[in-house]
Chains A and B, each alone.
Chain A
Amino acid sequence: MKVLLVDDSGTMRAIQKRCLNKLGIEDICDADDGVTALRLFEATAFDVVLTDWNMPNMDGLQLLKEIRQRNADIPVIMITTEAERNRVMEAIQAGVSDYLVKPFTTDGLRDKLEKWIPVRI
């Protein structure tokens, strides 16, 4: 199981890595913006992408659109403070697989991941 984790905050990447480790997921690549993430995505086969929305250079919504042009099937889960209905709808229209609002718990992340990939409980 290989995860691409995208967030401009090193703190949030560390928190999400710790959550993923608790779920038995150790193979994690991370990026701090959409540009770097897209470069990684094009070079490596991932099983799931977790991305923030608000980031410099390329935000998570644009990253999602770029990924969908390259791969229609890979699960992309947006983890963001953007919680309003119109923003969620925007992500859905762009092809997001699932949506998790910050702040979140390990259980909340596990529930989302379980829908898309096999995780160790």
Chain B
Amino acid sequence: MTTTLEAAPTVAAPSAPTSIKTADYVNPIIQSTRDVFEMMLGCVPKRTGLMRKQDAKMPRDISGVIGISGKTRGTIVLCFPKASALEALHRMIGTVATDIDDDVCDAVGELTNMIAGAAKAQMAHLELSISLPNIVCGEDHVVRFPATSVGSIEPFCVLFDSDLGPFMIEVAFA
């Protein structure tokens, strides 16, 4: 089942998975994403959807992956199609790239790091730590969320549109 919502400052828990806990951490992630994009990229992304990971259909060529541990554990993945990632690099440091290279990977990793870090700060009561970001590249690659890292909680996706183009965040917390 897919739940698509209009952009709003906060989000109610999606119909699947439904839990208050889900909204407790998805809202900090959405707010952090907006803050990071506004300050580092000069644009305010608009949330266009919230759905289960398996229902999300968006081309992806590069993902930044950060693991989270503390009183809960989870994973945050920032996914871009190639064009959006190249434009992110351009806006951050003025470099024009024509393909996904080391600079693009570094920029996506740093954006992921800042989003996860800012979200973590909004959930201080969970005493979270974040890993250094890892990068996954490849046309329509898949980042899996094994049960050993996020338990039985089903990952879900937050879709955004922006001046860069579309992008998506996948997230699951145990």
Contact = CB atoms under 8 A, between A and B. Distances in A.
Interface of A: 8-12, 14-15, 18, 54, 56, 80-85, 101-105
Interface stretch (B17-25, B105-113, B160-168): B105-113
Contacts of A101: 118, 121
A56 B131 CA distance: 11
A43 to B, nearest CB: 26
B124 A10 contact: no
Enumerate the 6 nearest inter-chain pairs by beta-carbon distance, A residue then B residue, closest first.
Answer: A81-B117, A83-B121, A103-B39, A14-B93, A9-B110, A11-B107
Contact of B35 (A8, A85, A103): A103
A21 to B, nearest CB: 12
Q: Taking chain A's interface residues, is the majority helix, strand, or loop, or is none over half, making it mixed?
A: loop
A54 B113 CA distance: 10
B89 A11 contact: yes
B132 interface: yes
Interface of B: 35-36, 39-40, 89, 92-95, 102-103, 106-107, 109-110, 113-114, 116-118, 120-121, 124, 130, 132
Contacts of B116: 81
A11 B92 contact: yes
Contacts of A11: 89, 92-93, 103, 106-107, 109-110
Contacts of B40: 15, 103
B120 A103 contact: no
Contact of B113 (A15, A81, A84, A104): A81
Contacts of A15: 40, 92-93
Contact of A81 (B94, B95, B118): B118
A103 B103 CA distance: 18
Contact of A83 (B94, B110, B113, B118): B118
Contacts of A56: 132
Contact of A85 (B93, B102, B103, B124): B124
Q: Which of A10, A56, A85, A103 has the most CB of B within 10 A?
A: A103
A25 to B, nearest CB: 17
Given A81-B116, A102-B114, A9 B92 contact: no
A81 B39 CA distance: 14
Nearest to B117: A81
B92 to A, nearest CB: 6
Contacts of A84: 120-121, 124
